[in-house]
Chains A and B, each alone.
Chain A
């Protein structure tokens, strides 16, 4: 893959804007509303990731950004109050919505909390692991809602309306803010990985040197070092091999976080044109969610 095509794929993936105006859930509909207009976000399988993200990174990303088994399960007695308290501390808007619903309809509140408990636990877990990342995601999500509302309203507003330019600028500002938060998140993630590097190196070396470990996706250098370690005749030779292996794994992990930072910097550099593209895409007419509404990759 050429450098140009890598760039194209990366920015194309970044350019997948998250929103299209979704129409309302029918009155009285049960369960959380489905955002029909919500565009499929890019996935880690998107082309053009640059190849820096291996299985190690995937594991970390899943742990942070997906609901884990530990987040699942029914609400425990008193847990709704704990989640409310968490929201009060870290997510005021969420807390307002939760308390408003509880005051107006305790039954509906219990029902909604049961539905949303896994995601709320997940959010709390991310805050506990990395408050910076938690704050970024929290604000990003709230911005996302305003972006959707703003884009939906703008699509119904005549361009010659006196409010149009003002609202368009507000939409642009929100999109730009979220783009900045994506870069911030990449940097926060790099910091997160760096902070855990020693632990991760030790775990990785142990994993690699376990009998029967799958080394098929490892670089040849790592495979050779593992082989040397396993074939070592004595402690001195084994320790020396282990040190070299640790250095190689450290280099891998350092490269991962450096790639995240590089990606953040590149995203900041190209932010103005990316904002333009996302705004244009957000306001594009047509039924939401159609594949042909994905912004063309550059």
Chain B
């Protein structure tokens, strides 16, 4: 079922994560750090590819995430040449890996929840039905308290 609430939640998550990314300080990652990010992306892609019927979508998601990570890495690297570097690039790599993992998760959620189908009327009707069903269930629950 397509759920506006899910999509709005994911949208907020993406916005929040983008804000966090923007807040990351400039850093000059060592080549081995970049290599670790790339390895993490490949490992994630391989792991996700083993998960069954969503294989194709996961591959797409992983590819997008990997591309985003590389663009981000190059951008911050180039910015880092003009600013101070963080002393602990390892921690930044860990942040990147976590962000990648989460972005993959979010993309999987988007694809598996049927975002691409995009029937707005059905979305709204489903949301309304779900809210009313929640009320039904709540009233039933409260009567049983």
Contacts and interface: CB of A to CB of B under 8 A. Distances in A.
A182 B141 CA distance: 9
Interface residues of B, number: 39
Contacts of A186: 145
A163 B101 contact: yes
Interface stretch (B24-32, B60-68, B72-80, B116-124): B116-124
B62 to A, nearest CB: 14
A104 B124 CA distance: 8
A116 B128 contact: yes
B98 interface: yes
Contacts of A98: 128
A61 B98 contact: no
A44 B143 contact: yes
B37 to A, nearest CB: 15
B15 interface: no
B133 A35 contact: yes
A33 B131 contact: no
Contacts of B133: 32-33, 35
Interface in A105-159: 105, 108, 112, 116, 119-120, 122-123, 137-138, 140-142, 144-146, 149, 153, 157
B136 A119 contact: yes
Contacts of A137: 135, 138-139, 142
A161 B117 CA distance: 27
Nearest to B140: A41
A142 B119 CA distance: 23
A144 B5 CA distance: 13
B5 A101 contact: no
Chain B contact residues: helix, strand, loop or mixed:
helix
B131 A142 contact: yes
B11 interface: no
Interface string B86-98: 0000000000001
Contact of A18 (B122, B124, B137): B137
B28 to A, nearest CB: 25
Contact of B121 (A25, A93, A101, A142): A101
A66 B143 contact: yes
Nearest to B13: A163
Interface hub of B1, B122, B126, B133 (most chain A Cβ within 10 A): B133
A73 interface: no
Nearest to B99: A162
Nearest to A264: B145
Nearest to A62: B143
24 contacts: A18-B137, A24-B1, A25-B126, A64-B143, A65-B143, A66-B139, A93-B131, A94-B132, A97-B124, A100-B123, A116-B128, A116-B129, A116-B132, A122-B139, A123-B135, A137-B135, A137-B142, A140-B141, A145-B130, A146-B5, A162-B98, A162-B102, A163-B101, A189-B145
Give the top 5 A-B pairs by smallest Cβ distance, nearest first: A24-B1, A65-B143, A101-B124, A141-B134, A32-B129
Given A97-B127, A137-B142, A145-B131, 20 more contacts: A18-B141, A25-B126, A32-B133, A33-B133, A35-B137, A38-B137, A41-B141, A42-B144, A64-B143, A94-B128, A97-B124, A101-B124, A101-B125, A104-B121, A116-B129, A140-B138, A144-B138, A149-B3, A149-B6, A162-B101
Interface of A: 13, 18, 23-25, 27-28, 31-33, 35, 38, 41-44, 46, 61-62, 64-66, 93-94, 97-98, 100-101, 104-105, 108, 112, 116, 119-120, 122-123, 137-138, 140-142, 144-146, 149, 153, 157, 161-163, 182, 185-186, 189, 263
